[in-house]
Structure 1
Amino acid sequence: MRIVGVIPAAGKGERLLPYSVEKEMFPVGFHKGKPKPVSQYLVERMAFSGVKNIFMIINHTKVSLMKYYKSGKWLGLNIIYVYQDEPLGMGDALCALLPWVKDEIVVMGMPDTIFEPFNAFSVLIKFYNQSTSDLVLGLFEVSDPSKYGMIELDENYNVICHVDKPQGSTLRWCWGIACWGPRFSQFIQSICENQGKKFKEFTFGHLIDLGMNCGLIIKGVKFEGGRYIDLGTSEGISEAIALYSQQI
């Protein structure tokens, strides 16, 4: 089964206002002597896992992404752009994408984040292929649960709790990347047709919660000693620059 990458990049980017440049293009380090946008870290990690085709979901404000990545051939990839009419959330973006990925194994990550280990997608794909999971989440330990979708697992790696941006939580692991196959894509399709429009903003967190309620097999893989940096915050930008600015 073919593996494809999905990059949702059609968000409003309001967390960094009044900074107006597309956050996915924020420069962190260098590539062949030129500034490297944060989204390229995600693209490179997808390519390392064997992905050849990446679907990048964009809106009318994300022209710089297309200008930079073009067809993707310079990275050994095929990058396909899917237009989201309105920024109604990641779940809505996936609804627009499904006709092209419904029969594939999908890996997804956020274009304004940097995570370690570098081979995290490869680990998720292997776990998915060796299990009966519908959805596998890559989990990273964070110090501030109020900024992330937090996950709790049981002893068999099953997701038993998901809380979005909880205040004062003792949960330590957030989901940062994901891998799924045709069964979960079919589930997304059913939600798009029946419930997606009920949400003011249809998020991936809603899909996790609805999937758990419907009995889907959702598992998590903890990346002990890993790293997850969200450049949607000033703290994340500072950390990323400190860690990656010297990379050439």
Structure 2
Amino acid sequence: MKKIRKAIIPAAGLGTRFLPETKAMPKEMLPVVDKPAIQLIVEEAMKSGITDILIIIGKGKRAIEDHFDSNTELELNLERKGKDKMLEAVKKTNGLNIYFKRQEHPKGLGDAVLTAKSFVGNDPFVIMLGDDLMQAETPLTKQLIDSYEKTNSSTLAVMRVPHEDTSKYGVINPAKKVSDGLYDVTSFVEKPNPEDAPSDLAIIGRYLLTPDIFEVLEHTKPGKGNEVQLTDAIDTLNKSGKVYAHEFKGSRYDTGNKFGWLQTNIEFGLQHPEVADQLKSYIKDLANKLD
């Protein structure tokens, strides 16, 4: 069985929900306390044993490339000044093989993944969406890899959401529970209306797929939003093979909208050793004022 060593991070979206901030700055570079959100995704990949990452970018995303490039002048400056902790933080992702490819036209997540076909080759791989930050003792990507080593099949991460929110997600129609947290799936439905949703188990931003998904994507016609939907391709793949769903029970943070991004910063700030105590006191004082 091949080891999972490759990951794709789609980062070609326009970030319109964060305008005007994203007019010149990629949405993925918006900070969560002191790190760009996309770096937290890359760090999860590292902790999960991933060594090769392809970041799919679009026009105006050069800042992402610059961020993951080595900055020799900065590193030497920090080293000379003995700022070891800062130097360690700056070099956190050094040593990874990070590649970039441009999606010429925003035709949907399925199309973005298809651009990675030559990078993936014949290897199983993971897809990590940049809007979803996950926290768990074992990283969610590693959980999917562990599941693959048992089933040798594609596996998606799912999480229970309020039923009225099912129209925001791809949703699974579970056939049966194979083991604790692992489901055999009858079908995958992209953004169903709540009255039509087959379950409350929504697909969240981590996928482990076998390379045969690319042949399916090549023949997948645009679906909702006139875009090539990855969920549609996965549903087709499930008809000829086997795709499982792994239920995630950790914490998920959605940085893809303004409130979610603010909420993420507050919760990560409360975990940050440099600002946690100050932030906690500030929140308490603010709550008293609001009362």
The code of the aligned residue for 1:233 comes to: N
Q: Alpha-carbon deviation of 1:196?
A: 4.6
Q: Equivalent residue for 1:22? A: 26
- The structural deviation recorded for 1:69 is 1.1
Q: What letter matches 2:141 in structure 1? A: F
Output the amino acid matched with 1:27.
Answer: P
**Identity between Structure 1 and Structure 2 (%):** 28
Cα deviations by residue, 1:152-182 (Å, 9 ceiling, x for unpaired): 322221122323233335632222211123x
> Match of 2:148?
128
Residues 160 and 47 (structure 1), Cα distance of their counterparts in 2 relative to 1, 3 Å cut: same
Which of 101, 105, 111 lines up with 1:82 in the alignment?
Answer: 101
Which SS does the other structure have where 1:11 is aligned? coil
2:202 aligned residue (148, 166, 174): 174
TM-score w.r.t. structure 2 length? 0.74
For the 8 Å contact 2:53–2:99, the answer to whether it is kept is: yes
CA contact (8 A) 2:57 2:100 kept: yes
The equivalences for 1:92-241 within 5 A come to: 92-117=111-136, 118-133=138-153, 135-143=154-162, 144-153=165-174, 154-156=176-178, 157-168=183-194, 171-176=199-204, 177-181=206-210, 185-192=211-218, 194-196=219-221, 200-212=226-238, 214-224=239-249, 226-241=250-265
Q: Does the 8 Å contact 1:23/1:112 carry over to 2?
A: no
Counterpart for residue 65 of structure 2: 66
Instruction: Write the distance in 2 (CA, Å) between the matches of 1:123 and 1:101.
Output: 20
Cα deviation per residue 1:56-97 (whole Å; 9 max; x = unaligned)?
011122111111112697513110001111111121122211
| Larger-Rg structure | 2
Query: What do residues 81-134 of structure 1 show as CA deviations (whole Å, max 9, x unaligned)?
Result: 01111111121122211012022221111112211225211111111121142x
The worse-fitting range, judged by mean Cα deviation, of 45-54 and 151-160 is 151-160
- Given that residues 141 and 227 in structure 1 are in contact (C-alpha distance below 8 angstroms), is that contact kept between their aligned partners in structure 2? no
Q: How many residues of Structure 1 are paired with residues of Structure 2 in the alignment?
A: 236
Report the equivalent of 2:15. Answer: 13
| Structure 1: distance between partners of 2:119 and 2:193 | 38
TM-aligned CA distance change 1:187 to 1:105, over 3 Å: closer
- Structure 1 CA distance, aligned partners of 2:258 and 2:92? 31
Instruction: Give unmatched runs, 5+ long, in structure 2.
Output: 71-89, 274-291
Q: Which has the higher helix share?
A: 2
RMSD: 2.3
Between the aligned partners of 2:209 and 2:91, the Cα distance in structure 1 is 25
Of structures 1 and 2, the one with the larger relative CO (CA 8 A, separation 6+) is 1
Q: Using the alignment, how far apart are the partners of 1:24 and 1:148 within structure 2?
A: 20
Q: TM-score, normalised by structure 1?
A: 0.85
Where structure 1 has 5 or more consecutive residues not aligned to the other structure, the ranges are 30-34
1:193-241 CA-to-partner distances (Å, cap 9, x unmatched) read x3457883112112122223x33201011122x1222211123112201
